[in-house]
Amino acid sequence: MNAAGRPLDGITVVELGHSVAAPFAGLILADLGARVIKVENPASGDYARGWGPPFWNGTASIFHALNRGKEGVAVDFSSPAEAASLRDFILNEADAVIQNLRPGILDKFGLTAEAMRAAKPALIWCDIGAFGATGPLAKKPGYDPLVQASTGIMSVTGEGDRPPVRVGVSLVDMGAGMWSVIGLLAALVARKDTGAGREVSTSLYETGLAWMTVPLAAFGASGEVRKPQGSGTAEIVPYQAFQTEDGWLMVAAGNDNLFRKLCGALGLGEMAQDPDFATNSARVVNRGRLIPRIAEAVRRHGSDALGLLLDAAGVPNAPLLTVDQVAHHSQTQALDMTVRCEGDGIDLMGIPLTFDGQRPRERRAAPGLGEHNDILPGAAARPR
């Protein structure tokens, strides 16, 4: 898909961001065709530049993964000339700003939603905060694991009676970036009719609460605080990973008919007729008696053989793959999800969208610190 055919061609976004949340939002927008200008501190740059090893060409791989496709400028906000140059660029060129800087940092430089939108009413300003704009934690700094802990995500992750674990990917940070993009896109649609921009706000904490939609509803209905179920889920049984002769297989018998098919495939047909297991609600109640019997039957099979057996029976299943196996899997390759930037040799993940069968992607490598400072007349040139 060429640049002219991408949905956000002609839209310019300034990213006042660091770490994961705002950069992931900027990455999505860049792949969708927007011109994204990443603004960094000239002294240190985005913290993520140093989050390694591993490093690629002297910069952490996470920075490359989250910042390809952008132009990069380094601006010293304490310099009136540089701050004014950035402000002028936003007022003259930008359709939107995304920022996830610590509360109060931008206030002293006049780079706030109120000031900028007063000067340019069509501007869309997207704030990604830590714990939200109001409330007792509004000024508290936040990172993904803090919010996984404080919104209950860690309490439903892992196994009961064992130490807490975080979800292994930064789903709160990345989710907040996605919500920011959703809000920005909605504001762009609304602007077509009104000509006016919007102030869009989200936070890591609100994103964490949104991921907890189902567990919080379950608590509201029952008053019960359930233990984490490992690879399983509290509301559906059997819906978890089982150990095979040579690995692990995830089995998702998500309804009574699939349970009957699973029992047939495993030679446990009598269990499907047992009133204690015949319905999902009964299986949830009697999980402790059911799961060991399924586990015993599964251990008689190798993962590949059992996967084929369950496929033939129509029971959803999947092997547990490691990162290297996922990277080289034929399905990953068939979907053409990875991006190799121009002149680069590292495979980076694209966004999970296609338009008319084509995946939009920006192939420019992540920018060096201050690489594109020439677009800001008042900004000092930086060594690359």
User: Are 48 and 72 contacting, i.e. CB atoms less than 8 angstroms apart?
Assistant: no
Which residues does residue 81 pair with via DSSP β-bridges, in sequence order? none
User: Are 22 and 180 contacting, i.e. CB atoms less than 8 angstroms apart?
Assistant: yes
88 catalytically annotated: no
From CA 356, how far away is CA 17, in angstroms rounded?
A: 31
3-state secondary structure the chain: CCHHHCCCCCCEEEEECCCCHHHHHHHHHHHCCCEEEEEECCCCCCHHHHCCCCEECCEEHHHHHHHCCCEEEECCCCCHHHHHHHHHHHHHHCCEEEECCCCCCCHHHCCCHHHHHHHCCCCEEEEEECCCCCCCCCCCCCCHHHHHHHCCCHHHCCECCCCCCCCCCCHHHHHHHHHHHHHHHHHHHHHHHHCCCCEEEEEHHHHHHHHCHHHHHHHHHHCCCCCCECCCCCCCCCEEEEECCCCEEEEECCCHHHHHHHHHHCCCHHHHHCCCCCCHHHHHHCHHHHHHHHHHHHCCCCHHHHHHHHHHHCCCEEECCCHHHHHHCHHHHHCCCEEECCCCCCEEECCCCCECCECCCCCCCCCCCCCCHHHCCCCCCCCC
Which token pair is 269? Answer: 């047909």
Which token pair is 336? Answer: 């053409």
Q: Choosing from 95, 173, 311, 347, which is the catalytic residue?
A: 173
Which token pair is 94? Answer: 């930008």
Residues recognised as catalytic? 173
